[in-house]
Structure 1
Amino acid sequence: MHEHTTPRFPMGLPAITPAAEAALNAAGIHPLRLLARHIHGDWGALSAEDIAANELALLTGKRLLSSYTVSDNVKIWIITEADRSVTTILMPDEY
């Protein structure tokens, strides 16, 4: 995958749910680390179809999703809204 050195889209206001914050703290991962991956287009552990959907969303102004595995069986999602006003770090079951 091509690595981008600049953000690929505006993320808007960052937000994090308490459960996601606790999971990242337990895994020893700072939320900014995952936010940086997300805004630079490293979508994490997504299917080829979801990656293609994100690439299209960059062109068409749709919602963006990243998924990162932070520890055994613990996933964190990052979602940037279509209007790019907010980017939320959350657990998949909170969506």
Structure 2
Amino acid sequence: MALTAGVNGLVAENEDFAKFVTESLGRHLKGDWGDVCVEDKKANDEAVKAGDRMLSAYNDDRFPKNGNATIWIITEGDRSVTTVLFPDEY
């Protein structure tokens, strides 16, 4: 798993945010895609079977960053890396 600079910085300074990231990663690994639309959930379900890229989004208003309390978790199609990032770091 990889964390972007922004996520890593907040994980280091905020234990509750670190727990949120860990819980969100667990959800992602179980196929709970979080706060994405129905079409994206279906696409992720298909991506699991086809070996394509998956993107989950999780929101927690306790951790706003620039007015955005959402993290994304992206797993590459070849499953080589899963990255946790803020949307503005994409």
Q: Runs in 1 of length 4+ with deviation above 4 angstroms?
A: 23-27
* 2:20 is equivalent to residue 34 of structure 1: no
How much has 1:21 moved relative to structure 2? 3.0
What's the C-alpha RMSD, in Å, of the aligned pairs? 1.7
Q: TM-score, normalised by structure 2?
A: 0.80
Q: Which of 44, 56, 72 in structure 2 is aligned with 1:54?
A: 44
Residue 18 of structure 1 and its aligned partner are, at CA, apart by 2.1
Q: How far has the Cα of 1:27 moved from its partner?
A: 7.9
Structure 2, unmatched stretches of 5+, are: none
- Please tell me whether residue 20 in structure 1 is matched to residue 7 in structure 2: yes
Match in the other structure for 2:59: 69
Aligned residues: 82
How far is the alpha carbon of 1:26 from its aligned partner?
Answer: 4.6
Percent identity over the alignment is: 45
Structure with greater strand percent: 1
Residue 9 of structure 1: aligned partner: none
TM-score (norm 1): 0.76
